[in-house]
Structure 1
Amino acid sequence: MSSTETSSRPVRQKVDLTKFAWLSIAAAIVTITLKAGAWVMTGSVGLLSDAAESVVNLVAAVVALIALRVAFRPATERFLYGRARAEYFSAAVEGVMIFAAAGVILVTAVERFLNPRPLENVGWGLAISVIASLVNGGVALVLLRAGKQHDSITLRADGKHLMTDVVTSAGVLVGVALVVLTGWERLDALVAFAVGVNIIVTGIGLITESVSGLLDKALPDEEHEVITEILRRRTDGTVTFHGLQTREAGQEKYMNVHVLVPDDWTVKRGHDYIEGLEHELMGVMPTLHVLTHLEPISDPASYEDIPEAHVPIHGEDEAALRPPRDDADAQG
């Protein structure tokens, strides 16, 4: 079976995302200062747990900065495909840090439940905590938007973490206010405990997402639909496709597919066809790296190498699309 392979680079350059990590670091420093001050003023273990999570935010932001710097480096002779997967390590580290913060919060909450203490200066403490939450909320929205735009798991993870911090801060504020209204001091510890549990759930989600990326998770279904729609449109009876596989690594997306063309096409004609296909695909997905495998459409051997795991292009078993073998083929 004669074949040729070709690949191409995306038309859009990788974007340096470290400015967003610096924004996250600055926000973490500001919120740590504000929340620690609120805790000192009130003595609330709930506000202490909120401040502890902001410390984790700072560590996670520093790790994200390192990961984004590494991922942005160009490919070298040793790292021929670049270092895009460094972003997944950042998300995993952030998940682990969340677990550490949750552990501290839960232990502190149990101790305060057993030994409740009255709260002081609640009004000022709550006001300061609200300001810190507004800072986190604004930065979280910026990170989530940038993470979606640039396909960065690091920014998405950091944004989700900050948004979780905003939600938990709201819970803490409600809890502290209820302590003042009801006079039940142990409620402060219960709220802190609930914050710890919520943080654990967030950490599990981040680690799951990072592990999926390290294990070559396929592109999302909506992106598969974009690719298969183009391939189906180009299937015209003389050219067809099968064996589509995809994966993602940080900002980069990868796909490989078998292109079956008429037996009498020259290598030049096949190459020109594939060039047009790649440009169309990358026109709608600029960071997509395309690897194609050219095969003669009537050769039965072209249908023997369909990967066991692949994305259906034509909505049915692609091996069933092979042309019938004539008598000469069967005897050969």
Structure 2
Amino acid sequence: MNGSKVAFLSVLSNTFVVLLKLIVGIVTGSVAVISEAIHSTLDLVASLIAFFSVRISSRSADKTHPYGHGKVENISGTIETLLIFVAGIWIIYECIHKIVNPTDIELPYLGIIVMVVGAGLNYVVSRKVKKKADELHSVAMKSNALHLLTDVFTSLGVAASLLLVTITGWTILDPIIGIILACYIMREAYKLLKESFPPLLDARLTDEEEIEILRIIEVFKERFIEIHDFRTRRSGPEEYVDFHLVIPSSMDISTAHKICDEIEHAIKIAFKHAQVLIHVEPEEELLKNQPQTH
């Protein structure tokens, strides 16, 4: 199953879960269930964004976009996380309103059943989406998987709150747990925002990733003199790597080209979506640029 089909699967599951939670939330009068319906609605919007962004970002580079369409995924991931923040704020607002104006919950066991069913469905789909996201290095699908997984936890939390309300009769537990869940999903959104937004500003790869790339290049150190001007950045699922490779002045172009091909191939084994650009410099250029000592 390709990325688009997996992303569409999350659209279908979220549509079903949204309708189920919304109907039961209205019937039971539980603000936690209604908050979950709102949360799931934003999950549905996020799934739609992920679905279209995956299709667009997979397009090949063209005349207008010579570096491809990868950043569409980062834009998508950023929008999705902002939607989670909106959901969190709205849930907190509704919960505070419920604390000020408490109401009884009708048919709590119906709400519990729906929350557990929705959690189970989204858990299965989130595992599939996460697996495909890791395969494709898709930040949009990874964001979508997080949406689904947070929905699992929040749904189970709401089920637990409804059960406690039923046992104890303390209706205030419903909005209090709703606020706790809202804070949780906003915290998860912040963590994801730190991953999806920096590539829009061409931030470099992580320290671990750069160290791994440099380690790969170092394997070929006996065949070149040094590297400098090493730079990296991410665009959607792709990593961009470029650096200057200093070779002996006596080395012919064909040999230098072969070394560059081997280095590029080695990097792409570890980073399947890497785009590598190597600028070759003869040793005499390095000596020319070194400061003169007297």
* TMscore range, shorter length: over 0.9
Question: Structure 1 residue 180: deviation in Å?
Answer: 1.2
Matched, 1:49 2:4: no
Answer yes or no: is the 8 Å Cα contact 1:143–1:155 preserved in 2: yes
Amino acid across the alignment from 1:213: P
The root-mean-square deviation of aligned C-alpha atoms, in Å, is 2.1
From the superposition, tell whether residues 238 and 256 of structure 1 become closer, same or farther in structure 2 (CA, over 3 Å): closer
Matched, 1:158 2:115: no
Identity of aligned residues (%): 28
Task: Pick from 68, 73, 93 the counterpart of residue 79 of structure 2.
Answer: 93
Task: Pick from 254, 276, 285 the counterpart of residue 240 of structure 2.
Answer: 254
For structure 1, the 5+ residue unaligned runs are 1-14, 305-324
Task: Pick from 112, 137, 140 the counterpart of residue 98 of structure 2.
Answer: 112
For structure 2, the 5+ residue unaligned runs are none
Equivalent residue for 1:311? none
From the superposition, tell whether residues 84 and 238 of structure 1 become closer, same or farther in structure 2 (CA, over 3 Å): closer
From the superposition, tell whether residues 93 and 238 of structure 1 become closer, same or farther in structure 2 (CA, over 3 Å): closer
Amino acid across the alignment from 2:38: A
**Could you say what secondary structure the match of 1:258 adopts?**
strand
Q: How does 1:289-328 map to 2 (within 5 A)?
A: 289-300=275-286
Matched, 1:186 2:179: no
Amino acid across the alignment from 1:34: L
Alignment coverage as a number of residue pairs = 294
Amino acid across the alignment from 1:245: R
**Structure-1 separation of matches of 2:289 and 2:96:** 63
Question: Structure 1 residue 164: deviation in Å?
Answer: 1.0
Superimposed CA distance per residue, residues 258-292 of structure 1 (whole angstroms, 9 cap, x where no aligned partner): 11111111222222222222223223323211111
Q: Please identify, of 67-76 and 291-300, the stretch whose mean Cα deviation from structure 2 is larger.
A: 291-300
Q: How does 1:7-86 map to 2 (within 5 A)?
A: 17-86=3-72
Q: How does 1:121-200 map to 2 (within 5 A)?
A: 121-200=107-186
Answer yes or no: is the 8 Å Cα contact 1:38–1:129 preserved in 2: no
Answer yes or no: is the 8 Å Cα contact 1:49–1:105 preserved in 2: yes
Larger Rg: 1
From the superposition, tell whether residues 178 and 51 of structure 1 become closer, same or farther in structure 2 (CA, over 3 Å): same
Answer yes or no: is the 8 Å Cα contact 1:57–1:162 preserved in 2: yes
Superimposed CA distance per residue, residues 168-219 of structure 1 (whole angstroms, 9 cap, x where no aligned partner): 1121111111111111111111111222222222332333322112122322
**Structure-2 separation of matches of 1:267 and 1:247:** 28
**Structure-2 separation of matches of 1:303 and 1:281:** 28
Question: Structure 1 residue 160: deviation in Å?
Answer: 0.9
Amino acid across the alignment from 1:209: E
Amino acid across the alignment from 1:186: I
Matched, 1:214 2:200: yes
Equivalent residue for 2:222? 236
**Structure-2 separation of matches of 1:82 and 1:34:** 39
**Could you say what secondary structure the match of 2:219 adopts?**
helix
Greater share of helix: 2
TM-score scaled by length of structure 1: 0.82
Amino acid across the alignment from 2:124: G
TM-score scaled by length of structure 2: 0.92
Q: Which structure's relative contact order is higher, taking Cα pairs within 8 Å and 6+ residues apart?
A: 1
**Structure-2 separation of matches of 1:97 and 1:287:** 28
Superimposed CA distance per residue, residues 73-101 of structure 1 (whole angstroms, 9 cap, x where no aligned partner): 22111111111100011111112211222
**Structure-2 separation of matches of 1:110 and 1:178:** 19
**Structure-1 separation of matches of 2:244 and 2:251:** 16
**Structure-1 separation of matches of 2:16 and 2:164:** 26
